[in-house]
Amino acid sequence: MDLELRDEDIAFREEVRSFIAENLPQEIRDANQRGAHIPKEMAVKWQKILHERGWVAPNWPAEYGGPGWTSMEKHIFAEEYQSADCPPVSGFGVTMVGPVIYTYGTDEQKKQHLPNILSGDIYWCQGYSEPGSGSDLASLQTRAVLDGDEYVVNGQKIWTSLAHLAEWIFCLVRTDTEVKQQEGITFLLINLKTKGITIKPIISMDGRRHLNEVFFDDVRVPVSNRIAEENMGWTYAKYLLGHERAGIAQIATHKRTVERVKDIARQEHSDGGVLMDESGFKMRLAKAASALDALEMTNLRMQADISAGRSPGDGASTIKVTGTEIQQELNEILVQALGYYGLPYSTDQFRPDWNEPPVGPEYSAGIMADRLLRRAASIYGGSNEIQKNIIAKRVLGL
């Protein structure tokens, strides 16, 4: 891994920076500045602008629509993208099911799904977890029984992020009950408009709807929607989870948070001076910022592996654990920096048409919301306790 920036890399950074400055719609910048939720229509509008430039899926191979960047170019792009507060493109499609489809899918599946994922015309969601199967995912019970050239699916998924905004769901279903749990699972692509699917909301502690329950009642799914072999779904699911965990790190976003904390702490009064002068506060921030620098290097090594065509593998668990721990620590520091103004919280501020100022200084917008939402970061994508078990066994060989 070469960390030296070449002239081409410096020029590339300029190219990305000016593209974003010229093309990111003003309404998205404004919403971001207020810490407001970006509605799907706005996010899709931005994805289409990126798609036209060929920049939606940095990690995809060029033959499927990736830009063919080096790992350094991907890193530069992520830094510029996240620090300009661009909305993330739909991760369930681009980061998760897309790589599964181009790696294991049929030509038909590639033709049907990959272009729609890139253009943002089809949003995906992830149907892995069930009421009795989260960490112990392999125990999942949603049943798919073959009937002619269709599977009949019955069961329930839970914590399905953004199912209410998605058109398709990728699901793990049980196709064999007689074998070891992991050997009886199949990976299906299911159109959410299919008869027999019901989606119900779950409101999370930030007062918003991100999550859902998805019920399947005699849902008929063509066999042609199966990824590769029946009962081999666990292999494809694990491959996908590696990409999911690697994508959770969001390092450039956290670097921006460090800058945001400094900015706020230079303005907040404390003991006759400003918060940034307090040694205890500075120490806590410096510790988080140093951990972030170390994580960035580890992430760069992993990105180099992905660029060389290797799966992020179990090392992605390290990125996931450390990245989410740093994220939650920075979110807490931000709330601490705001003092009493960290506490007022109203979900009205997330309405796209909301134009009242926040309670407290402008810079307090969205901080508590983010703190509440990202409390779940150490749970989704596989809880951090489980990731530590994986690191112990498969990375450290304990």
Q: Does 141 bind ligand FAD (CB under 6 A)?
A: no
DSSP reduced 3-state for 88: coil
Q: Which is nearer to ligand FAD, 68 or 132 (CB)?
A: 132
By CB under 6 A, what part of segment 200-229 binds ligand FAD? 211
Instruction: Tell me the residue length of the chain.
Output: 398
Instruction: Report, in Å, the least distance between residue 160 CB and ligand FAD.
Output: 5
Q: Which is nearer to ligand FAD, 237 or 264 (CB)?
A: 237
**Could you give the CA distance from residue 308 to residue 305 in angstroms, rounded to a whole number?**
5
Burial readout 302-337 (b: 16 or more C-beta within 10 A, e: otherwise): bbbbbbeeebbbbbbbbbbbbbbbbbbbbbbbbbbb
Contact with ligand FAD (CB under 6 A) among 192, 261, 376, 390: 376
Q: Does 181 bind ligand FAD (CB under 6 A)?
A: no
Instruction: Report, in Å, the least distance between residue 313 CB and ligand FAD.
Output: 19
Instruction: Report, in Å, the least distance between residue 279 CB and ligand FAD.
Output: 34
Q: Does 328 bind ligand FAD (CB under 6 A)?
A: no
Q: Which is nearer to ligand FAD, 186 or 364 (CB)?
A: 186
> What residues pair up with 222 in beta bridges, in sequence order?
150
- 67, 2 contact by CB (below 8 A): no
Using the contact rule CB under 6 A, the part of the chain among 144-152, 214-222, 344-352, 378-386 near ligand FAD is 378-386
Instruction: Report, in Å, the least distance between residue 317 CB and ligand FAD.
Output: 13
Query: 134-138 long-range contacts, Cβ below 8 Å, gap at least 24?
Result: 134/159, 134/383, 135/382, 135/383, 135/385, 135/386, 137/172, 137/237, 138/181, 138/182, 138/185, 138/234
Q: Does 389 bind ligand FAD (CB under 6 A)?
A: yes
Instruction: Report, in Å, the least distance between residue 167 CB and ligand FAD.
Output: 15
Number of residues that bind ligand FAD (CB under 6 A): 19
DSSP reduced 3-state for 152: strand
Q: Which is nearer to ligand FAD, 24 or 227 (CB)?
A: 227
CA 142 to chain centroid, in Å, comes to 24
CA 132 to chain centroid, in Å, comes to 23
Q: Does 337 bind ligand FAD (CB under 6 A)?
A: no
- CB-facing half-sphere around the CA of 171: CA atoms within 13 A: 33
Write out the catalytic residue numbers.
244
Q: Which residues contact 232 (CB under 8 A, 6 or more apart)?
A: 186, 187
Per-residue binder mask for ligand FAD (CB under 6 A), 101-140, x = binder: ------------------------xxxxx----xx-----
Q: Which is nearer to ligand FAD, 127 or 315 (CB)?
A: 127
Residue 217 per-residue DSSP state: E
User: Which pair of structure tokens corresponds to residue 258?
Assistant: 């460090």
Provide the binding-site residues for ligand FAD, judged by CB under 6 A.
125-129, 134-135, 159-161, 211, 376, 379-380, 382-383, 385-386, 389
